[in-house]
Amino acid sequence: MEKIIEKHVQLNELENGGVGSPKGFITGGQNIGMRKTKPDMGWIYSERPAAAAGVYTTNLFQAAPLAVTKASLAKEGKLQAILVNTVSANSCTGEQGLKNACTTQKWMANHLGIPEHYVGVASTGVIGLQLPMDKMKKGIDRIKLGEAESWFEEAILTTDTKTKHIAVQFTIDGKKVTIGGACKGSGMIHPNMATMLGFVTTDADVDSDDLHLALKKVTDRTFNRITVDGDTSTNDMVLVMANGMAENKKLTVNHPEWPVFMAGLETVCRELAKLIAGDGEGATKLIEVRVTGARDEESAKAISKTIVGSSLVKTAVFGSDANWGRMICAIGYSGEPFDPTKVSMTLGDIVMFEHGMPVAFDEEKAKSYLDQDKIVIQASLGEGDGEAVAWGCDLTYDYVKINASYRS
Amino acid sequence: MEKIIEKHVQLNELENGGVGSPKGFITGGQNIGMRKTKPDMGWIYSERPAAAAGVYTTNLFQAAPLAVTKASLAKEGKLQAILVNTVSANSCTGEQGLKNACTTQKWMANHLGIPEHYVGVASTGVIGLQLPMDKMKKGIDRIKLGEAESWFEEAILTTDTKTKHIAVQFTIDGKKVTIGGACKGSGMIHPNMATMLGFVTTDADVDSDDLHLALKKVTDRTFNRITVDGDTSTNDMVLVMANGMAENKKLTVNHPEWPVFMAGLETVCRELAKLIAGDGEGATKLIEVRVTGARDEESAKAISKTIVGSSLVKTAVFGSDANWGRMICAIGYSGEPFDPTKVSMTLGDIVMFEHGMPVAFDEEKAKSYLDQDKIVIQASLGEGDGEAVAWGCDLTYDYVKINASYRS
């Protein structure tokens, strides 16, 4: 168990933890024949109905499963199961798509013997493709809780190259509480509300309204801080379920240990977000941009996202070219006001730019730094105390390769 | 001579026309040793001082030559010569960079025997590199008007693969008027004010203030409608010079033939903008996005720019993959409000999407359409009568290749 110190809160990271780690959650995945052999359907089930909350894409073409899940959550603020399929995004599929999403929700609810509105549905894949309803039906009928062909974490992937999951443990009211999470990237990723599929489970007992506030706040500082290609998908969604089986006193914003829970939730979401950024389509490197000294957090956020989203910065990092001019240029077109003569910038611990002017640096040292798989760019503006971090990845031949022929 | 019909105004396009086509303009280029053999310095000279206007990058790190040119233009609104160098962008070069830009301006003015503030200076290349002043001096001293090693149009290029120039002729007050233009792209191109180096010359007699208004208006509909990679450079500038040698009655917005002049100026700038987009770094195809039925022109502009700027649309076009879902998705995250069920879209003349739903289409036909080198995507929103066109290019392996090692 590795220890993460987060805001002076002690969190223990579980080895190989994921959405199945918190008490009472059963998860799994299987192949239902939409893909040749890879798993293409995943599920999460909680022994008890769980307080739940979601955040959704801001794309106006919102996919059918988002509408269905949102409407279901609106009834009681609870979920007991989540069903995810890949290959078809069930987006831009009109009335039929909406009907199909409702039908799969119903099938899943019947199969598990729970109310329909306790089932969340999520899809990822190609836009405009209807769900293959016969395969969905057979797949749902085959689900046996506790008997899965594959991990949930594997079953939700598309062009991702690896599973993305984490779980942390901490103590609330003397009770051991666990938060687990899993997500998938890795194209059409840009910070704007949810930006991907993310699932967080916890055995903490949490007030449903406060859980929603917590998710919104944390999403804005984690999932909304990553970009792969600037495209905000129609299907992005993050769902959190809290089933209360840790037996703590119900958590609300007024609970003295609320900050502990928030730190746990933020850690899970941040690590998942970084996993998505680092596994962006074709990516070979994770880029972390830290902006300090901005007018305020919003300004720092805008600047950090502009740097990490610049195609020219991304290609320079891919080529291990310490082209600081492109990073500085991106700050300049971020749309945020600042005094150029007060700007400084470092790449790792190498100072590149100070008070608006370039600084001579060791090119070889910069190149070897850029050859690593995690790159940190730090910019300070000297305007105020606004800080933010954003994550992205390099832009590579493989990004082009993957996306020039996604449908074929 | 090919005829372009533009807004019911007859314009004749000159064969192989450029900034040297209007009466009284002498242009040229040479190699001053910053690059091995390719020309790296270009100039424009007008026999008479010309009314002039400029638009400049909105990037807060504005390069030194922009500051110098802007300040010079502020004096009389006139220019008689323009000096352009490549290799060093003279950006983020502090006091020394500013001093160097002023010095080259002075050398050029002395060499030509004209006032310093009649010389515009422009630079393009690597950020943070000071101008090689010895080479600049020798180069300027060697300039002989009318005796050039190369075209101006060649001398201003960086990663561009071809020269970009045009000239049109039309009649004002019964006098033949010519407008010529030249520009360079092709990376760090994103619509926000000027976005590249552009030079327009005309022998029309035009009021200086109205020339500035005309340039601003036209730039917004042409150069500001292109994107290559979303990066707005520190050096973008468009300059126009009008020397009056066509002997027309001075053009103002109240001149009955003002619309003819505007049509000529817009045509020159639009064709140059399209040349930049089509020759974006690594590009194999020009993408034109036409949006109709938006709430207003601003909304149409935002949507067209979002589609043409999407990395996923750009890679799909590169791969000749009729992935309409990505185009629709881009409309959805443009930030503009609209009713998704009223949206329709065509690729060339192939209908892909109608009233918010996909339409079955012939994949083979779509693929052969996408194999062409000019792709038109048309979206109609059914909200109002706002229209706009934007231009961009595909995202290819070569874009990554060019930018992963620009400085080496």
The band of A128, judged by pLDDT with boundaries at 50, 70 and 90, is: confident
**In which band, very low, low, confident or very high, does the pLDDT at A227 lie, cut at 50, 70 and 90?**
confident
With contact defined as beta carbons under 8 Å apart, do B92 and B59 qualify? no
Q: What is the dihedral of CA A93, A32, A271, A7, to 10 degrees?
A: 90
CA distances from A360 to A375, B86, B92 (A): 20, 22, 13
Contact B329 A230 (CB under 8 A): no
Residue with tokens 């990004």: A399
Q: CB burial class (10 A; 0-12, 13-18, 19+) of residue B167?
A: buried
Q: How confident is the model at residue A78 (pLDDT cuts 50, 70, 90)?
A: very high
The pLDDT score that the predictor gives to residue B235 is 78
Q: Tell me the pLDDT tens digit for each residue of A15-52.
A: 999 999 999 999 999 999 999 999 999 999 999 999 99
What is the tens place of the pLDDT at every residue in B2-17?
A: 344 445 678 999 999 9
Minimal-distance CA residue of chain B relative to A127: B325
Structure-derived torsion over alpha carbons of residues B59, B65, B70, B71, reported in degrees to the nearest 10: 130
Q: Say if the Cβ atoms of A190 and B333 lie within 8 Å.
A: yes
Minimum Cα–Cα distance from A92: chain B residue: B357
Type and span of the H or E element at B216: helix B208-221
CATH of B2-278, one of 3.60.70.12, 3.30.70.100, 3.40.50.300, 3.40.50.10800: 3.60.70.12
Kindly report the average pLDDT of chain A as a whole number.
91
Question: Out of A226-235, A310-319, B3-12, B331-340, which region has the weakest mean confidence (pLDDT)?
Answer: B3-12
Distance CA A185, CA A2 (A): 25
3-state secondary structure of B166: strand
Phi, psi at A156, each rounded to 5°: -100, 0
Catalytic residues of A: 195
Residues A253 and A209 sit within 8 Å (Cβ to Cβ): no
Phi/psi at B72 (nearest 5 deg)? -70, -40
Intervals of chain B under pLDDT 50 = 1-6, 190-195, 408
As a residue count, chain B comes to: 408
CB B65 within 8 A of CB B90: yes
**Span A104-119, average pLDDT:** 98
How confident is the model over A337-394, as pLDDT tens digits? Answer: 999 999 999 999 999 999 999 999 999 999 999 999 999 999 999 999 999 999 999 9
Q: Tokens for A376?
A: 């940190």
Query: What is the fold of B286-404?
Result: Ubiquitin-like (UB roll) (3.10.20)
**Rounded distance between C-alpha atoms, residue B21 and residue B319, angstroms:** 39
Per-residue pLDDT band at A226 (split at 50, 70, 90): confident
Separation between Cα atoms, residue B58 and residue B129, nearest integer Å: 21
Residues A352-357: contacts with CB within 8 Å, 24+ apart? A352/A322, A352/A324, A352/A327, A353/A324, A353/A328, A353/B92, A356/B92, A356/B94, A357/B92, A357/B93, A357/B94
Of B160, B48, B127, B294, nearest to A313 (Cα)? B127
Note whether B325 contacts A401, CB cutoff 8 Å.
Answer: no
Instruction: Pick the residue from chain A with its C-alpha nearest to B91.
Output: A325
Q: Which residues of chain B does CATH 3.10.20.340 include?
A: 286-404
Q: Considering only CA atoms, give the Rg of chain A.
A: 22
pLDDT in tens, A322-340: 989 889 989 988 889 999 9
| pLDDT at res. B125 | 86
Q: Which of B398, B147, B153 is nearest to A397 (CA)?
A: B398
pLDDT range class, residue A188, cuts 50, 70, 90 = low
Q: Is A128 an interface residue toward B (CB < 8 Å)?
A: yes
CB contact under 8 A, A311 and B91: no
- Encode pLDDT of B364-408 as tens digits: 999 999 999 999 999 999 999 999 999 999 999 988 888 887 554
The residue from B57, B93, B163, B195 that is catalytic is B195
CB burial readout A340-353, b (16+ within 10 A) else e: beebbbbbbebbbb
Q: What would the two tokens of residue A84 be? A: 């995810």
Please answer yes or no on whether A333 and B232 come within 8 Å at the CB atom. yes
E strand map for A95-138? 119-123
Kindly tell me the burial class for residue B198, based on how many C-beta atoms sit within 10 Å of its own C-beta (0-12, 13-18, 19 or more): buried
Q: Does residue A406 sit at the B interface (CB-CB below 8 Å)?
A: yes
Place of tokens 């704007």: A192
Residue B92: list chain A partners with CB under 8 A. 325, 328, 353, 356-358
Residue A106 one-letter amino acid: K
Query: What Rg value do the Cα atoms of chain B yield, rounded?
Result: 22
8 A C-beta contact, residue A198 and residue A269: yes
Phi, psi of A89 (to 5 degrees): -80, -10
Nearest to A358 among B92, B229, B331 (CB): B92
Q: Mutate which of A58, A60, A361 to disrupt the B interface (most B C-beta within 10 Å)?
A: A60
Question: Is there a contact between A43 and A83 (Cβ–Cβ < 8 Å)?
Answer: yes
CA distance B332 to chain A (A): 5
* Cβ atoms of B233 and B198 closer than 8 Å: no
B398 three-class SS: helix
Q: State the CATH class of domain A2-276.
A: alpha beta
Q: Which of A94, A311, A396 sits opposite B229 (nearest CB)?
A: A311
Phi then psi dihedrals of residue B118, to 5 deg: -90, 0
Chain B residues 37-66 with CB within 8 Å of chain A: 57-62
pLDDT in tens, A267-285: 999 999 999 888 888 889 9
The span from the CA of A245 to the CA of B356, in Å, is: 44
Q: Which among A61, A62, A328 has the least Cβ separation from residue B61?
A: A328
B204 within 8 A of B245, measured Cβ to Cβ: no
pLDDT tens across B142-162, in order? 999 989 999 999 999 887 888
Which structure tokens are listed for B60? 């807060």
| Contact between chains at A89 and B333 (C-beta distance less than 8 A) | no
Q: Is the pLDDT of residue A99 over 50?
A: yes
Phi first, then psi: give them for residue A305, nearest 5 degrees: -70, -35
Comparing CA positions, the residue from A71, A139, A147 lying closest to residue A107 is A139
B163 in catalytic set: no
Q: How far is B83 from chain A (nearest CA, A)?
A: 23
The count of other CB atoms within 10 Å of the CB of residue B368 is 12
Cα separation, A253 vs A208, whole angstroms: 11
State the pLDDT at residue A160: 83
Phi/psi of residue B377, nearest 5 degrees:
-110, 125
User: Residue A88 pairs with which residues in a beta bridge?
Assistant: A126
Q: Which run of H or E residues covers position B231? A: none
Cβ separation of A396 and B396 shorter than 8 Å?
no
